[in-house]
């Protein structure tokens, strides 16, 4: 079935290069003509006298040098799919059997002595850490002045050659804007009744 389908796609392309074939073929009389290669049912398509509206549309699209609309299923092209539907039991087993993949409850939660919010025991409270870090950064700035990122001293033309400017990709632009960076959520205020281990 797939061979036929591929031929179908090929034919649509050959219709564009028809003129080239016409010039080239008479020079090689030993070769079979193109019409012989085409199955009978596809001959009207090749000749351009097809009655199928969808194929006409496809031809128009190809002539305008747009990408062929092979993404949608027009009854001719199919994609790889699983052979059978996985049963309810199998799906559930796959998800629930391995204990290590499941979420475990946090039992080591405690109260941060410095801010009164929830904190993992033996770990730094990230809320306090964020505050202290920002504070120390500001303090360092006041003491030692602002530190500039390293920039090599270079001639302008040299810099253009060594670091050529180029258009950034979408991902790189997002990276430079730091849009992807997630903020840590501020933890809840500690409440004894809401924690598992009391």
Query: Which among 11-19, 49-57, 66-74, 128-136 is the span making contact with another protein, rule CB under 8 A?
Result: 128-136
188 interacts with another protein by CB under 8 A: no
**Residue from 85, 122, 156, 167 that binds another protein (CB under 8 A)?**
122
Query: Between residues 78 and 106, which has the closer beta carbon with respect to another protein?
Result: 106
Instruction: List the beta bridge partners of residue 118.
Output: 111
CB-CB contact of 144 with 138 (8 Å): no
139 interacts with another protein by CB under 8 A: yes
**Residue from 47, 54, 94, 129 that binds another protein (CB under 8 A)?**
129
CA–CA gap between residue 96 and residue 148 (Å, rounded): 52
Taking the complex as a whole, the smallest distance from the CB of residue 75 to another protein amounts, in Å, to 41
Query: Between residues 70 and 129, which has the closer beta carbon with respect to another protein?
Result: 129
Taking the complex as a whole, the smallest distance from the CB of residue 103 to another protein amounts, in Å, to 14
148 interacts with another protein by CB under 8 A: no
Taking the complex as a whole, the smallest distance from the CB of residue 132 to another protein amounts, in Å, to 5
Q: Cα-atom radius of gyration of the chain, to the nearest Å? A: 34
**Residue from 27, 30, 113, 171 that binds another protein (CB under 8 A)?**
113
Query: Which among 5-13, 64-72, 86-94, 183-191 is the span making contact with another protein, rule CB under 8 A?
Result: 183-191
Query: Between residues 59 and 120, which has the closer beta carbon with respect to another protein?
Result: 120
Query: Which among 25-33, 90-98, 167-175, 176-184 is the span making contact with another protein, rule CB under 8 A?
Result: 176-184
The 3-class secondary structure across the chain, one letter per residue, is CHHHHHHHHHHHHHCCCHHHHHHHHHHCCCCCCHHHHCCHHHHHHHHCCCCCHHHHHHHHHHHCCCCCCCCCCCCCCCCCCCCCCCCHHHHHHHHHCCHHHCCCCCCCEEECCCCCEEEECCCCCHHHHHHHHHHHHHHHHHHHCCCCCCCCCCCHHHHHHHCCCCCCCHHHHHHHHCCCCCCCCCCCECCHHHCCCC
CB-CB contact of 17 with 50 (8 Å): no
Q: Which residues bind another protein (CB under 8 A)?
A: 111, 113-117, 120, 122-126, 128-129, 131-133, 135-136, 139-140, 181-182, 184, 186, 189-190, 192
């Amino acid at each position: 079935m797939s061979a036929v389908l591929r031929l179908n796609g090929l034919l649509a392309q050959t219709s564009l290069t028809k003129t080239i074939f016409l010039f080239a073929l008479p020079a090689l009389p030993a070769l079979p003509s193109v019409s012989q290669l085409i199955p009978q049912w596809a001959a009207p398509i090749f000749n351009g006298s097809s009655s199928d509206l969808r194929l006409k549309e496809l031809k128009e699209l190809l002539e305008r040098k747009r990408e062929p609309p092979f993404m949608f299923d027009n009854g001719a092209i199919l994609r790889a799919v699983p052979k059978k539907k996985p049963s309810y039991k199998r799906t559930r087993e796959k998800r629930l059997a391995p204990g290590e993949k499941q979420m475990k409850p946090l039992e080591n939660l405690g109260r941060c002595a410095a801010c009164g919010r929830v904190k993992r025991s033996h770990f730094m409270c990230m809320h306090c850490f964020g505050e202290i870090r920002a504070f120390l950064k500001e303090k360092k700035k006041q003491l030692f002045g602002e530190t500039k990122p390293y920039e090599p001293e270079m001639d302008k033309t040299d810099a253009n050659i060594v670091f050529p400017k180029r258009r950034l990709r979408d991902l790189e632009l997002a990276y430079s804007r730091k849009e992807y960076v997630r903020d840590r959520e501020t933890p809840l205020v500690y409440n004894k009744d809401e924690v598992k281990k009391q």
